[in-house]
Amino acid sequence: MEEEMLQQLRSKATELLLREEWIQAINVYSQLISLCQQNLSQPHQTSDPADRLSKLHKSLSLAFSNRADARSRLRDFDVAIEDCERALEIEGTHYKALLCKGKILLNLNRYSDASHCFQKALFDNQSNGSSETLQGYLDRCKKLEFQSKTGAFDLSEWVLNGFKGKSPELAEFIGSVEIKRSENIGGRGLFTTKNVEAGTLLFVTRAVATGRGILPEPGEDADESARLVMWKDFIDKIVEASMKCGRTYRLICTLSSGEREEDLGVPDISLFRPEADELVFTKEKPDMGKILSILDVNSLTEDAISATVLGRNKEYSGVGLWILASFINHSCNPNARRLHVGDHMMVHASRDIKAGEEITFAYFDVLVPLRKRREMSKTWGFQCNCKRCRFEEVFGCREELREIEMVLEFGGSDKGALVFKLEEWMKKWVAKGKEKGYLRASFWAMYSEVFKSEKSMRRWGRRMPAIGAVAENVAEAVGADERVVQTMAAEGLRKSSDGGSTAEMERAMKLGRGICSKAMKKQATRAYLELCLVQD
Ligand SMILES: C[S@@+](CC[C@H](N)C(=O)[O-])C[C@H]1O[C@@H](n2cnc3c(N)ncnc32)[C@H](O)[C@@H]1O
């Protein structure tokens, strides 16, 4: 009778599991678990009590590990791991429980803990015939653990194959960075702990959640509702992740909700290392209001100017929450950029950064004059307080710059003449290297137009600094930018096809590091830059 009831529940649960009806399967496994526990606590008249106990224990451990599997499919990792632990308390090398726990830990980026589970599972009798699968998981753990310890990522093959196939699997990685108070900008910010070269990866992090969709052109009727659907989906996913994972919610709560940033605590960077946390799961009921205001301040869109989305159809728009990246402040002379690969964000230096310098990226376009940047930072809810803005605040009142802005706004003048004038004024004002870079960046649109026009170059080229020098100066001041590198690479490609110098191409390649990061080797960087030129 006892066995009959257990068997009925087991068959029903297996069927639900096979049909991938996870919630119902979890319910039936919960009933099975209760029944096993009840039976274990009640003595029973039987000819072989030891055999009965052993069968009940087997049923119980299997039920726990199957419920863990169903829970993990719903990404309910905290409770799924608890189930694995309970199965393993009964049977220390339970194959299914170890496999499930290993997969969850791999998903939580705890590579060495996951590896430990897969190793142990290899020794279980039931692993016969599955050693290849386990070896596959062990190889993945090894590769990801290496990436997470060294920051040695390589996207070259994928880039050179034209982003065909699945995007490469990436580990999470935290390089030489720390969170500190930002004296210059305010609130907290992310800082380097040693000198880093342009292209160096600073960290790689996976989104808590993303929302993606194909949005109609801005202004079209359907635009607003498509955007709302994407945001709603994104917010729902964040709330779900906060409810299911105590650690995720705790980390989200370290972020700014935009108020009194100066009073917020400064979390230690180790908090963000997945392996640093003990597997102790305390649940807190997520506060919806708090989550919404945090998302308001910290959500990032993938199509920002300092971001490059690799390997996805450009028509897709995406929004996401990447926790560590949320500590990065905006600057109009940024020194970092981000690459998006699937749900991972790879943040790298877009120019050389000194130890102790704040890491910043551009929330909005910084290749525009101060007045435009002021408007944009206002829509972000802050007044930019960066070094470049402070410098241009003083220079910005110069009548000569106003004149250029007016002409640019209303059009009509020879841009070559304007560039020439600005260059002459900068000489008169004795502007230093970085300062020249700031002003050239502010008026990049006009420089670019001139460099791209053969007619303008014939007329003004000899009286202006070369594209290579201007581009390097701008990149030194505001970090490498795709548009600047593209203008230089275009000139390089044009000259090389004429059989001329490729010095511009070489310089573009050097700056390309600041765009592509060291995760792309030389050939891949070149292929990527050429691809950008074709698409331009
Ligand atoms: C994503 S958070 C950046 C980290 C934040 N400072 C913190 O302490 O958590 C964005 C917020 O930081 C502040 N912020 C970022 N860049 C800034 C800038 N250039 N000038 C002034 N405030 C800035 C604004 O309050 C903005 O809403």
pLDDT in tens, 390-448: 888 887 667 788 888 888 878 777 889 999 999 999 998 888 899 999 999 999 999 99
Structure tokens at 330: 């905006």
Q: How far apart are CA 499 and CA 407, in angstroms?
A: 37
Give me the pLDDT at residue 281, please.
54
**3-state DSSP call for residue 361?**
strand
Q: Which residue matches tokens 């020439």?
A: 420
Give me the pLDDT at residue 320, please.
97
Give me the pLDDT at residue 235, please.
97
Average pLDDT score over residue span 106-113:
94
Nearest CA to ligand 1 atom 9: 256
CB 258 within 8 A of CB 381: yes
Give the type of residue at 517.
S
pLDDT value at 280 more than 80: no
CB 171 within 8 A of CB 372: no
Give me the pLDDT at residue 14, please.
95
Per-residue pLDDT tens digits for 65-88: 999 999 999 999 999 999 999 999
Greater confidence (432 vs 209) lies with 209
CB-based burial, 499-522: b 16+ in 10 Å, e otherwise:
eeeeebbebbbbbbbbbbbbbbee
| Poorest-pLDDT segment among 49-58, 92-101, 232-241 | 49-58
Residue 347: which H helix or E strand, with range?
strand 344-349
Give me the pLDDT at residue 507, please.
82
Structure tokens at 150: 């060294």
> Could you tell me the distance, in angstroms and rounded to a whole number, from the CA of residue 416 to the centre of ligand 1?
37
Alpha helices in 369-481 (DSSP H): 370-379, 387-395, 399-410, 415-428, 433-442, 444-452, 454-460, 467-478
Q: How far apart are CA 453 and CA 24, in angstroms?
A: 66
Q: How far apart are CA 470 and CA 468, in angstroms?
A: 6
pLDDT value at 153 more than 90: yes
pLDDT value at 373 more than 90: yes
CB 359 within 8 A of CB 375: no
pLDDT band at 96 (very low <50, low <70, confident <90, very high): very high
Give me the pLDDT at residue 370, please.
92
Q: Can you name the residues that pair with 338 across neighbouring β-strands?
A: 307, 347
The residue to mutate among 327, 360, 382, having the most atoms of ligand 1 within 8 angstroms of its beta carbon, is: 382
Q: Average pLDDT, whole number, for the chain?
A: 90
Nearest CA to ligand 1 atom 20: 384
Give me the pLDDT at residue 279, please.
52
> Could you tell me the distance, in angstroms and rounded to a whole number, from the CA of residue 501 to the centre of ligand 1?
44
pLDDT value at 501 more than 60: no
Per-residue pLDDT tens digits for 160-203: 999 998 899 999 999 999 999 999 888 999 999 999 999 999 99
> Could you tell me the distance, in angstroms and rounded to a whole number, from the CA of residue 33 to the centre of ligand 1?
50
Greater confidence (364 vs 185) lies with 364
The residue to mutate among 329, 347, 393, having the most atoms of ligand 1 within 8 angstroms of its beta carbon, is: 329
Nearest CA to ligand 1 atom 4: 327
Give me the pLDDT at residue 402, please.
83
Greater confidence (438 vs 125) lies with 438
Going by their DSSP bridges, the two strands 336-341 and 307-309 should be labelled as parallel
Q: How far apart are CA 135 and CA 158, in angstroms?
A: 24
Q: Can you name the residues that pair with 377 across neighbouring β-strands?
A: none
Q: Which residue matches tokens 């049909």?
A: 19
> Please, which residues have CB within 8 angstroms of residue 517's CB and are 6 or more apart in sequence?
199, 200, 201, 337, 339, 346, 348
pLDDT band at 297 (very low <50, low <70, confident <90, very high): very high
